[in-house]
Structure 1
């Protein structure tokens, strides 16, 4: 089993932002992956991550909602903030059971001000549009984000689940530092045009769910342990018939990980790390032992031949189930209307 190692720093994008080579996705500490964790336990995990060198923390106003940012605020007290590269996101409105994706200027500004207050910070290091508002031209959203940079409220701008054309249009308004995408052994659709676009423009790549939302760490038994309020239960890949099919993929990864002397999760995470020095995966966890295992993936070295072998084991066509259901189609690689269509309210 690969042991924990020193977490190096890396450049994310071409605007001067530096982060730990592995980040921490904080979503599961307060929402979406079952019941919220005890605040004291969540803060202990965050402090352990930071002390271990995992200082790139990823949150969002929708996580909780809002409670995730409040937990981070408590964890970053007493001089801890200066050690951390802090990323949060906007884009979802919430309340009364209704969720809407918004990117109009007034909302962008209001969301940023609210996150600054909850996080109790003067500036957000990396501020993402969490999902793309398909009604608002990306130039309009980026224009307001650019103002927030100029005002010192955010340092760098990011996008999540934007199409290649949206990324290009956004980058023409103000440099985009990072694009957050779902990228793992079983989610590789981004390799066709989004990743090449990011590399052409000098945009850093942040890979969320690099462990296949936990599947490559736990395999089929993950489904047995999901709580009733875990949103993964609604995803196509986590329906029982698809899990029964995909367990073959997991078993093949396990066989290779045994030969490598690491866990299957570490092997899957190492594959993402080997995609390039412009890629930062942000696996999430709620357990310190799992965090240590994730850090250990940094010491797993894969040859080009082993990368090919692993990709042969987990071919896109061998995985059953979409990463999102049809009802969440706008969550994926979205476009926005042309700037000429914009008519402000």
Structure 2
């Protein structure tokens, strides 16, 4: 029956990265086939990386086809008013076996002007972290363009950056312009604007088999960097069987649901919702259907669906617009 919307699972889009590993398979049961898989794109409308439905009557249809078929029933009126038929978010799981490059993302204005893209505001939820893992988030202190360039040229940039130790359950909210890097040994759930625009400024002097380093974007980055110190760590409550606010920004809202038993969910606005399961397992009940979710599953709830029941023992990130 093609005219009925239901909770949607998508086939993960797996990305090999120089810094990737195998935890997406061992922790999250993704069907990876290489030792350097760094990312699982869970829901994407990035060109050439369109998510495809993996369950039910709509299996095989891509997300843009769903938007064309169902429009406001899929996206919701409030999303269409702001973004038209553009799906505004990208959802990922990331496994950093090695340090990612030190990078940043442009804001909406620069991204539109230079790349005809959204900017890239994002948040990280730490799902697993080896001992002594850390993230790079912003500068230790306010700095200047001149000081930054001096350290960049002298390969001492890391000395002025803020390296933060991390553990499971930590959250960081990264506004555009914030210099950042995910450190080795960390698995992250990432929620971001739909954008694949990244300015890489330092890559730990890594080279490939031919002795060639990855491209850097020094000049593009200069106009986009926030040189003020930022505090990206987010404190939040985590009351069981309740949807607790974690991040509320102009681009997305993320809550956390520590599930132990039953949680009755009802929609708060006319927009789609997405749930990312970061640990445990549960049953999602919708009308006569039951969807079994485990750590590493991401499910999209079309705007037309108002009520669900979650039953199990798990941690869920709830994302909406």
Shared fold by TM > 0.5?
A: no
TM-score between the two structures when normalised by the length of structure 1: 0.30
More strand by share: 2
Which structure carries more relative contact order (alpha carbon 8 Å, separation 6+)? 1
- Higher helix share goes to which structure? 1
